Amino acid sequence: MSSETRWARRTGSVIGEAAGEGAQCTGPPPRPRRADLQHCAPVPRRDRETFPRDPVKTPASLQTLIDDGVIDEVLRPLKSGKEAAVYVVRSGDDVRCAKVYKDMAQRSFKQRVQYQEGRKSRGSREARAVATGSKYGRRQQEAEWKNTEVDALYRLREAGVRVPEPHGYFHGVLLMELVTDSEGFSAPRLGEVELAAEQARAFHATLVRDVVRMLCCGLIHGDLSEYNVLVGPDGPVIIDFPQVVSAGGNNAARAMLLRDVNNLTASLGRWAPELLDTWYGEEMWALFEAGDLQPDTQLTGRFTPDLRRVDLDSVRDAINDARELALIRQQGREAQDED
């Protein structure tokens, strides 16, 4: 592996699954010990390897894909969260990733309303139905929520953002590239690897550039953190887009963008502390608002707020939005812990 892509898997209680998505980063992580690595390594063998496996119980939605000839086999479950369950599947000679969305009843309605603000419904009938909250409207909203991720993946690939290559959306299942590490294991998340300072700086630059490209498409991830970035052999890959936010039509867009960038900066700042003094989110938003942001705009990370034009209402709104989102996420984590 080249020095540019050198990193080690890092596991343990601080950044492990138990911390939950959206958890705040506190202090430097402990050095990984060999025993931790062995204990926590999530995928001990290559996905392509053929070896006797415990039979995997195939969920109904994936069985439909097998029956339709879209995939051939479910190899193993990868992860099951509150919103979706992810599986490794085989389509012919290709090993892919299938994300099966869970039903609406299991997700926070309030949270979705906030994220969906500013998204365009497909037609006026649909928009009216969603607004009235009728049964048809809820079904419509459910479909939109599920479609959003695949739409975003196609759009972002096109814009040059490093996201998994989508292979279609069938019966509530998103089929996409399985992101792997250089040895063929499913890729670790950003919070699970140990990085050299130089590597952390390079990852930060790549991710900031990808966030800019997204913003130039009018999109903000909305839940970007070390839990939704995988580390492949060529660098970071952003995943998990059902909550993607419209940059132009959502009142909380700025707060969400700043939170996304701050999460990345806080994570990578553990390895390269000078990143903690940068202001990329603020800088890119100011350029975006002024209509001056381009996918290749060179950012400096420096930002001086214009104190003559402080709009107290929007500051208060942003604080309240961030507070409310933090609360919703906390409730989500608590509900997940109870499951």
Ligand X SMILES: Nc1ncnc2c1ncn2[C@@H]1O[C@H](COP(=O)(O)OP(=O)(O)O)[C@@H](O)[C@H]1O
Question: Shortest distance, CB of residue 236 to Mg ion, whole angstroms?
Answer: 14
Q: Which does 97 bind (CB under 5 to 8 A by kind): Mg ion, ligand X, none?
A: ligand X
Contacted entry of ligand X, Mg ion, none for residue 83, CB cut-off 5 to 8 Å set by kind:
ligand X
Determine, following the binding rule CB under 5 A, whether residue 225 of this chain makes contact with Mg ion: no
For the residues of 151-199, what is the DSSP string, one character each? HHHHHHHHTT---PPEEEEETTEEEEEPPB-TTSSBPPBGGGEE--HHH
Instruction: State the number of CA atoms in the 13 A half-sphere of 339 facing the CB.
Output: 12
Q: What is the largest CA-CA distance in the chain?
A: 68
Residues 278-297 that bind ligand X (CB under 6 A): none
Nearer to ligand X, 65 or 86 (CB): 86
229 binds ligand X (CB under 6 A): no
CB 116 within 8 A of CB 197: no
Q: Does 236 bind ligand X (CB under 6 A)?
A: no
**Around 147, how many Cα atoms within 13 Å sit in the side-chain half-sphere?**
11
Catalytic residue among 47, 181, 223, 321: 223
Look at the block and give the residue holding tokens 């839940």: 223
Cβ contacts of residue 142 below 8 Å, gap of 6+? 103, 104
Contact pattern from residue 149 through residue 188 relative to ligand X, giving x for each residue in contact according to CB under 6 A and a dash for the rest: ---------------x-----------xxxx------xx-
Which of positions 238-257 make contact with Mg ion (CB under 5 A)? 240
For residue 231, list its beta bridge partners. 236
64/70 Cα distance (integer angstroms): 9
* Whether the Cβ atoms of residue 267 and residue 15 lie closer than 8 Å to each other: no
Q: Pick one of ligand X, Mg ion, none as the site partner of residue 126 (Cβ within 5 to 8 A by kind).
A: none
Q: Is 223 a catalytic residue?
A: yes
67 belongs to the catalytic site: no
Build a one-symbol-per-residue string for 144-163: x at contacts with Mg ion by CB under 5 A, - elsewhere. Answer: --------------------
Residues within window 82-141 making contact with ligand X, judged by CB under 6 A: 83-84, 86, 97, 99
- Could you give the CA distance from residue 258 to residue 139 in angstroms, rounded to a whole number? 32
Contact 89, 62 (CB under 8 A): yes
Cβ at position 71, least distance to Mg ion in Å: 22
Residues of this chain that bind Mg ion (CB under 5 A): 228, 240
Residues of this chain that bind ligand X (CB under 6 A): 78-79, 81, 83-84, 86, 97, 99, 164, 176-179, 186-187, 189, 227-228, 230, 239-240
Q: Which residues are catalytic?
A: 223, 240
